[in-house]
């Protein structure tokens, strides 16, 4: 009986220690905020366990620049997905999803259909137009492949923007792993936008 109580007590202490460290994640990140940026109280940090999803709603005001950045325990970085969407479901930022790879595959499929279509077209004027479309699409695919590579091997762990009007955003964070746990911090900072023009 004493052994069971000791195991439970040790597990509880370990969980509390991990939770306290997760709070320090945000405190450490906050120390790096430099003028004119200001720490926003909408920032959050917490312990994530396998399969955990959290959604945080953020209000971003017109006339300010915002930066939303993420820091995580290194052991769960590859298993996390982040996304920032608006009220209509439009996605502004994503990390860890396969969306970029799927978009490239769809564009390549479209390119193949254009090349097949070119073979059946008669008339030089139409062939020149479709050749131009194919060349533009090839350039677009190259750019998308570079972005997909960077997203996988040199991920951008922040999103910086200036809202044209006050907007509500939803940040969704999911730990897709089956056995890991670790800390995640989402830090929001803002500053007054520089006035453009006269």
Question: If we measure between CA atoms, which residue out of 162, 166, 164, 174 comes closest to residue 49?
Answer: 174
Residues 39-43: contacts with CB within 8 Å, 24+ apart? 39/187, 39/188, 39/189, 40/66, 40/188, 40/189, 40/190, 42/188, 43/185, 43/186, 43/187, 43/188
Taking residue 166's Cβ as centre, other Cβ atoms within 10 Å add up to: 11
Given a contact cutoff of 8 angstroms between Cβ atoms, the answer to whether 36 and 185 are in contact is no
**CATH topology for 1-95+155-198?**
Jelly Rolls (2.60.120)
Beta bridge partners of 60: 167
Q: Is the pLDDT of residue 195 over 60?
A: yes
Rounded (10°) angle between helices 99-120 and 124-153: 160
pLDDT value for 191: 96
pLDDT-above-90 percentage for the chain: 38
173-194 tens-digit pLDDT: 999 877 889 999 999 999 999 8
Taking the model in full, what pTM does it have?
0.66
Contact criterion met (CB below 8 Å) for 117 and 126: no
The whole-angstrom separation of Cα 95 and Cα 186 is 13
H/E segment holding residue 132: helix 124-153
What does the pLDDT look like over 18-70, one tens digit per residue?
Answer: 444 788 888 888 888 999 999 999 999 999 998 889 999 999 999 999 999 99
């Amino acid at each position: 009986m004493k052994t069971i109580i000791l195991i439970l007590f040790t597990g509880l202490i370990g969980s509390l220690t991990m939770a306290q460290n997760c709070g320090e994640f945000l405190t450490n990140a906050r120390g790096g905020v430099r003028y004119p940026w200001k720490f926003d109280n909408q920032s959050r940090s917490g312990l994530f366990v396998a399969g955990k999803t959290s959604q945080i709603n953020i209000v971003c005001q017109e006339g300010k620049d915002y930066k939303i950045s993420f820091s995580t325990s290194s052991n769960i970085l590859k298993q996390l997905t982040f996304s920032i969407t608006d009220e209509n479901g439009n996605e502004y930022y994503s990390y860890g999803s396969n969306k970029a790879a799927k978009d490239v595959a769809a564009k390549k499929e479209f390119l193949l259909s254009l090349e097949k279509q070119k073979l059946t077209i008669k008339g030089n004027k139409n062939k020149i137009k479709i050749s131009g479309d194919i060349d533009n699409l090839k350039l677009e695919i190259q750019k998308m492949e570079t972005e997909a590579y960077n997203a996988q091997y040199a991920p951008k762990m922040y999103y910086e923007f200036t809202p044209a009007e006050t907007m509500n955003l939803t940040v969704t964070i999911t730990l897709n792993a089956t056995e890991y746990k670790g800390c995640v911090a989402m830090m929001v900072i803002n500053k007054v936008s520089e006035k453009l023009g006269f």
